[in-house]
Chain A
């Protein structure tokens, strides 16, 4: 009996740890499903719709990269809590389609994992919650420090930046960020 206890305890610890990690993924996935619904509703109603009643954020846009079949619903704000559910629109940056630079950030191991497959030249489609669509073309990527992103918020162009942690397969978080820069090439569907 004694001998069984320690492996079982150890196994339990393992399961809890694994489950904790898996929970993050499950949450990220489930939230996107709910967000997709809320986003469709927002487009239809023209009102910001909360994905679930106690949410402190709401969907603002959909990012799609058709070539690799990736898509994600972006939330307002980039607090740690919002980022658990989806990519966040970094506060105080321009809205998509507006003059200036729109910055979206998401976790490298969930919603923005697909960024590693996006290459310069790919087309990124953005749908705003008012239903307007914007097409961007990726034109540069870079690895920068979080506090020295080099993104010019006062730019006169129509730009888009997607940001996530770098390197993609690291286990711990660090100060480096991978940024993908894109410029508006057209509007409408």
Chain B
């Protein structure tokens, strides 16, 4: 090579250099164009599969009772249309939401529609109304099975019927039977929810879409031994027994316009002079009739239901009131709701305890798009906040998982740099096997009791086997505390709230990249500052049924929320605890409580939540827990796992003999999600399928012959690979490099001869 350099330096060096350079650039240019062209072709391949991979016809998971007929063509135009209106009234500590779903049937058939929708985690659904023409039918609360039977009966008899069922505490299904051709039926549900408070800020969240869940497939049966060590156990089968009930069809945003237009109105009466009111993910118009009231509407009228609505407000005063006490008299009992924000004591004299933090990041397919960006940004922020005397570790998981360091390492610059590089390289793909990751995070291998052990878990919670995760946390939490960070536009808040409750941590939600820093700072304030521990509450005179029964630790700026059922409204409520290492107590006289609305429902809903937790923790037998839940739900008219609301219009409307079609309403993909990452290659199903269900023949499923494939035609899968293309392109490029090489070699020889 040195020879070339020498031969370069003869008579016309400048000219030759220029020629060489020119030729080199030309060759390079050709190569670049070629490669770009090839890359373009290759990149077309997946988009081809988008149009051709509609191959599979019907997934077994979609099979429900009843003969299934699949309509491939023009199904979209026949589908039931849905509009949603959400009307929320906030009065002080609680809010009441009225969700109206408008089902319109543009087809020529009688239709049964089902719609899967999300619900605020702490919402107590207590009212169902069905509006048909000018008649309003109010639903009754019934045991779930009984409600189902009543609904099915009405469906067969051709009566209009509506049924509200709970699939998960935050996923509900509405079914409406016998919507006539061209008819519109309104279904209205109402729920009561406490307003969320954190520090100086109050907020509410209206979930508008259920993110597609990863439902692990059972491979082997797992065995659960009884905790008493008797050696007896029960084997468990499917981790998600109701997988087809929580998996509605999802539309690919790239190929369908958004569906389910939603309008939202919030009437805000905070009970104090309001300061800043902010909608985090939607453009809104805010009216202020007076200084304690705001009316918030969507700026564009309606939005597609593809992300959660989040509204927060602050008092005009510097500091939010640190205590709130509200009462309601229902039947012969008084219900009380108390908010107390413990003082934040600065631990100036004492250095915070060193911590061992295990970060877990979900890089499954559902995190694709903006979610993974938010998760990475959050984790990088968290890494940068670590102190040198802290120890940490990072775990990533999809359907596989990696633990970065074999054991937690000191957070020195080198380790943090390694972790940052590890996080930056993550890509969202694969399924969501959350349980093994949680298990790894909770494994306390250091066992160093001089350190506080914290698990920070970043995920969208898009799984269907929540119960398994809860059981893992309960069984393995030890001294670790679990902090859930919910990522994305529609995280599974039920999972986050319950997991952080069981893990005695806190839940933080990050809905957009802009929120990362603010929310993570808030989380770190919680991680770094001592919690208020050992809390207890006592009523001086009244005998009370308090919920939560065991008061969880309260983190900095979080209020303690207590609900109680009292026999009489007298005396006072005393709350005691420890802030850091100092005792703290506060006494609230009950006669100062203000009138509140729907507190009894909130109390009952919290009690139901307590019973579910007790069941998870095995403090209560499943039978006892179910009995408690059923009693509370029936008494307070709340939809739960065991109770449903059902409304029947007694006037039959569908003539005998007319068939009834079942329409499962599709939902949007949550904003920022990547369709292909969640569902693999593009749709495995035609988005809006109409399933026909004969109303008169649903009693004997066995009598019908199952037709394996009843499609009009069979779609053939894509059957070409890019192998040939790549190999040809590779050869061309190789050839080109050879030419270039020879050319370079020849050039100096020629000049030598010249």
Residues of A that sit less than 8 Å from B by CB: 1, 3-4, 6-11, 13-22, 24-25, 78-80, 83-84, 88, 90-94, 100-101, 103, 105-110, 112, 144, 146-154, 163-165, 170-175, 177, 179
Tell me the bound Cα distance from A83 to B719 in angstroms: 8
Q: Does B234 sit within 8 A of A, measured CB to CB? A: no
Q: Report the separation of the CA atoms of residues A17 and B737 in the bound assembly, to the nearest whole angstrom.
A: 13
Q: Across the interface, which residues of B come within 8 angstroms of A172, CB to CB?
A: 41, 44-45, 48, 720, 722, 725
Determine the chain B residues whose CB is within 8 A of the CB of A84 once the complex forms: 721
Indicate if the CB atoms of A18 and B717 lie closer than 8 Å: no
Which segment of B53-61, B132-140, B184-192, B264-272 sits at the interface?
Answer: B53-61
**Docked-complex contact B1 and A83, CB < 8 angstroms:** no
Q: Is B77 an interface residue (CB 8 A)?
A: no
CB neighbours of B725 from chain A (8 A): 21, 171-172
Residue from B44, B57, B726 within 8 A of A92 (CB atoms): B57
In angstroms, how far is the closest chain A Cβ from the Cβ of B615? 34
Q: Are B738 and A7 in contact (CB under 8 A)?
A: yes
Instruction: Tell me which residues across on chain A come within 8 A of B713, comparing CB atoms.
Output: 147-153
Contacting A at CB under 8 A, from B8-64, are 24, 27-28, 31, 35, 38, 41, 44-45, 48-49, 51-58
- Tell whether, in the assembled complex, residue A171 and residue B715 are in contact, meaning their CB atoms are under 8 Å apart: no
Q: Which residues of B contact A10 (CB under 8 A)?
A: 31, 733-734, 736-737, 740
CB distance from B739 to the nearest CB of A (A): 8
Q: Is B716 interfacial (CB 8 A cutoff)?
A: yes
**Chain B contact surface mostly:** helix
Chain B positions near chain A (C-beta within 8 angstroms): 1, 4, 24, 27-28, 31, 35, 38, 41, 44-45, 48-49, 51-58, 680-681, 707-711, 713-738, 740-741, 744
* Bound Cα distance from A4 to B723, whole angstroms: 29
Nearest CB in chain B to that of A168: its residue: B720
Cβ contacts A to B, 24 pairs, < 8 Å = A4-B741, A6-B24, A7-B738, A11-B733, A11-B741, A14-B735, A17-B726, A17-B729, A19-B730, A21-B728, A24-B722, A78-B717, A92-B57, A93-B708, A105-B719, A107-B720, A146-B718, A147-B713, A172-B722, A173-B45, A173-B52, A173-B718, A175-B51, A177-B716
Report which residue of B44, B707, B721, B731 has the largest number of chain A beta carbons within 10 angstroms of its beta carbon.
Answer: B721
Cα A112 to Cα B724 in complex, Å, equals: 14
* B72 to A, closest residue via Cβ: A147
A146-B52 contact given A18-B734, A151-B713, CB 8 Å threshold: yes
- Give the distance to chain A from B750, nearest Cβ to Cβ, in Å: 14
Which residue among B720, B721, B735, B737 has the maximum number of chain A CB atoms within 10 Å of its CB?
B720
**Chain B residues with CB below 8 A from A179, complex form:** 716
User: Of A14, A25, A148, which is within 8 A of B734 by CB?
Assistant: A14
- Complex Cα gap A146–B118 (Å): 37
On whether the beta carbons of B55 and A109 are closer than 8 Å, the reply is no
Asked if A3 and B720 sit within 8 Å, CB to CB, the answer is no
- Given pairs A11-B741, A83-B717, A91-B57, 9 additional interface contacts (CB within 8 A): A10-B737, A15-B730, A18-B730, A90-B55, A90-B714, A147-B715, A170-B720, A172-B44, A175-B52
CA distance A94 to B736 in the complex (A): 50
Q: How far is the CB of A31 from chain B (nearest CB, A)?
A: 13
B717 engages A7 (CB within 8 Å): no
In the bound complex, do residue B711 and residue A163 qualify as a contact, i.e. CB atoms below 8 Å apart?
no
- Beyond A109-B724, A171-B41, whether A14 also contacts B718 by CB under 8 A is no
Choose one: B53, B55, B730; the contact of A16 (CB below 8 Å): B730
Distance to closest chain B CB from A111 (angstroms) = 9
Q: Are A15 and B734 in contact (CB under 8 A)?
A: yes
In angstroms, Cα B703 to Cα A60, docked, is 29
Smallest CB–CB gap between A63 and chain B, Å?
Answer: 14
Distance A92 CA – B720 CA, assembled complex (angstroms):
22
Contacts of A6 in B (CB 8 A): 24, 27-28, 740
Chain A residues positioned under 8 Å from B710 (CB to CB): 153-154
Partner of B35, one of A13, A103, A148, A175: A13
CB closest chain-A residue, reference B748:
A3
Taking a contact as CB atoms under 8 Å apart, the answer to whether B726 and A163 are in contact is no
Query: What are the 3 tightest A-B residue pairs by CB atom distance, in nearest-first order?
Result: A18-B730, A21-B726, A17-B730
Pairwise interchain contact A8-B737, C-beta atoms closer than 8 A: yes
- Name the distance in Å between A153's Cβ and chain B's nearest Cβ: 4
Of A4, A6, A9, A108, most buried by chain B (CB within 10 Å of CB) is A6
Q: Tell me which residues across on chain B come within 8 A of A15, comparing CB atoms.
A: 730, 734
Knowing A18-B730, A173-B718, A177-B716 are in contact, say whether A110-B723 is a contact too (CB < 8 A): yes
Q: Is the CB of B56 within 8 A of A78?
A: yes
A20 near B726: Cβ-Cβ < 8 Å: yes
Let me know if A171 and B719 touch, CB within 8 A. no
Question: Cβ of B728: which chain A residues have Cβ within 8 Å of it?
Answer: 21, 171
| Structural contact, B715 and A13, CB atoms closer than 8 A | no
Q: What is the distance, in angstroms, from A42's C-beta to the closest C-beta of chain B?
A: 19
Min CB–CB distance A13 → chain B (angstroms): 5
Q: Provide the residues of chain A in CB contact with B708, threshold 8 Å.
A: 92-94, 100, 153
Which residues of chain A have C-beta atoms less than 8 A from B738's C-beta?
A: 7, 11
User: B580: shortest Cβ distance to chain A, in Å?
Assistant: 50
Find the residue from B51, B54, B713 having the highest chain A CB count within 10 A. Answer: B713
CA distance A147 to B56 in the complex (A): 11
CA of A7 to CA of B713 in the docked complex: distance in angstroms? 52
**Chain B residue with minimal CB distance to A99?**
B708
Residues of B near A79 (CB, < 8 A) are: 56, 680-681, 717
**CB <8 Å contact, B731 and A90:** no
Q: Verify B717–A105 contact, CB threshold 8 A.
A: yes
Q: Nearest CB to that of B24 among chain A residues?
A: A6
Whether A92 and B1, one on each chain, are in contact in the complex, defined by CB atoms closer than 8 angstroms, is no
Which listed residue, A11, A24, A80, A112, touches B718 by the CB 8 Å rule?
Answer: A80
Please, how many angstroms separate the alpha-carbon atoms of A24 and B719 in the complex?
Answer: 13
Cα A13 to Cα B28 in complex, Å, equals 13
CA separation between A179 and B192, bound complex, in Å? 59
Q: Report Cα–Cα, A8/B35, bound state, in Å.
A: 15
Which chain A residues lie closer than 8 Å to B44 at the CB level? 172
Cβ-closest chain B residue relative to A172: B41
Given contacts A15-B730, A15-B734, A94-B708, contact A163 B716 (CB under 8 A): yes
Residues of A within 8 A of B732 (CB): 14
Q: Nearest Cβ distance between residue B445 and chain A, in whole angstroms? A: 28
Nearest-neighbor residue (CB-CB) of A13 within chain B: B733
CB of B740 within 8 A of CB of A88, answer no
B723 touches A151 (CB 8 A): no
A109–B723 contact, CB under 8 A?
yes
Closest-CB distance, B47 to chain A (whole angstroms): 10
With a CB–CB cut-off of 8 A, which chain B residues contact A11?
A: 733-734, 737-738, 741
**Contact, CB under 8 Å: B716 / A149:** yes
Determine the residue in chain A with the shortest Cβ distance to B736: A10
Partner of B56, one of A4, A92, A146, A149: A92
Contact A151/B726 with A92-B56, A92-B709 known, Cβ cut-off 8 Å = no
Chain B residues in 8 Å Cβ range of A144: 716
Q: Are A153 and B49 in contact (CB under 8 A)?
A: no
Closest Cβ–Cβ distance, residue A100 to chain B (whole Å): 7
Query: Contacts A15-B730, A21-B727, A171-B724; is A3 near B744 (CB within 8 Å)?
Result: yes
Q: When the two chains form their complex, are residues B726 and A7 in contact, meaning their CB atoms are under 8 A apart?
A: no
| Cβ contacts under 8 Å, B709 to chain A | 92-94, 100, 153-154
Closest residue to B729 on the A side, CB-wise? Answer: A17
Chain A's nearest CB lies how many Å from the CB of B717?
Answer: 4
Could you say which of B41, B710, B730 has the most chain A C-beta atoms within 10 Å of its C-beta?
B730
Residues on the A chain within 8 Å of B4, using CB: 3
- Bound CA–CA A142/B708 (angstroms): 25
Q: Contacts of A80 on B, CB cut-off 8 Å? A: 49, 53, 680-681, 717-718
- Give the docked Cα–Cα distance between A147 and B51 (Å): 9
Specify which of B35, B58, B741 is in contact with A7 (CB 8 Å cutoff): B741
Task: Output the nearest chain A residue to B56 by Cβ-Cβ distance.
Answer: A91
Of A1, A14, A94, the contact of B730 (CB 8 Å cutoff): A14
For B733, what are the chain A residues with a Cβ–Cβ distance below 8 Å? 10-11, 13-14, 17
In the bound complex, how far is the Cα of B138 from the Cα of A29, in angstroms?
A: 65
The answer to whether B731 and A153 touch across the interface, beta carbons within 8 angstroms, is: no
The smallest beta-carbon distance between A23 and chain B, in angstroms, is 8
